[in-house]
Amino acid sequence: MNLNSILVHTHSGLRWVALILIVMTVIRAGNLMSSKENFEFRTKSLALFAMIAMHIQAAIGLVLYVISPTVQFGATTMKDSTLRFFAVEHIAMMLIALVLFTIGYSKSKKKTENRAKYKTVFWFYLIGLLVVLASIPWPFRGLGAGWF
C-alpha cells in the first residue's frame, strides 16, 4: 500500500464519521431549536466534532489533491466529467461546506440567546450537509469511487 491509497481509504471511510456527526448535530439542534433548554455541552461538542471531522477531511483531501493520479490538469480536464469533478467540483464545493460549518459554529458561540445558538447551528449545518451530500463521489455517480 502506498501513501496515496492509504489516504484515499482513510478519506473515504472518514466520510461516514463526518456525515454521522453532521446529521446528529442537525437533528439535535433542530429538536432543541424551539425549546428553552440551555445550549448545552452535548450539542456544542457534537457541532465541534463535526467541524473537526470536516477539517480532517479537508486536510487529507488537500494532500490527495497534490499527490493523487486522479487529479490531473491538462487539455481534457474540463471535458472529462471525472477529471473535472476531482480537479474542480469536489474541492470547490467541499471548501464552501467547510466554511459554512466553521462560520456556523463560531457564530453560534457569539450568540447570547439559547434558541439563537441552536438556530444558527441548525441552518448552517443543514445547508453544509446538503452541499457535502451533493459533492461526495457516490458510487452511483460513476466517478470510480466506492462506498468505503
Report the interface residues with ligand HEM, using CB under 6 A: 8, 11-12, 15, 18, 54, 57-58, 61-62, 64-65, 68, 70-71, 86, 90-91, 94-95, 132, 136-137, 145-146
- The sign of the dihedral angle between the CA atoms of 75, 78, 80, 83 is positive
- Shortest distance in whole angstroms from residue 44 CB to ligand HEM: 21
DSSP 74-111: STTTTTSHHHHIIIIIHHHHHHHHHHHHHHHHHHHHH-
Q: Which residue, 33 or 94, has its beta carbon nearer to ligand HEM?
A: 94
Q: Which residue, 27 or 52, has its beta carbon nearer to ligand HEM?
A: 52
The one-letter amino acid code at 40 reads E
70: which DSSP letter? T
- Shortest distance in whole angstroms from residue 64 CB to ligand HEM: 4
- Shortest distance in whole angstroms from residue 139 CB to ligand HEM: 9
Q: Which residue, 68 or 114, has its beta carbon nearer to ligand HEM?
A: 68
- Shortest distance in whole angstroms from residue 54 CB to ligand HEM: 5
Q: Which residue, 27 or 116, has its beta carbon nearer to ligand HEM?
A: 27
- Give me the residue label for grid cell 450568540: 111
Q: Distance between CA atoms of 120 and 7, rounded to whole angstroms?
A: 33
Q: Which three cell numbers stand for residue 22?
A: 453532521
Q: Which residue, 93 or 116, has its beta carbon nearer to ligand HEM?
A: 93
- Shortest distance in whole angstroms from residue 135 CB to ligand HEM: 7
* Position of minimal CB gap to ligand HEM: 61
Q: Are 52 and 37 in contact (CB under 8 A)?
A: no
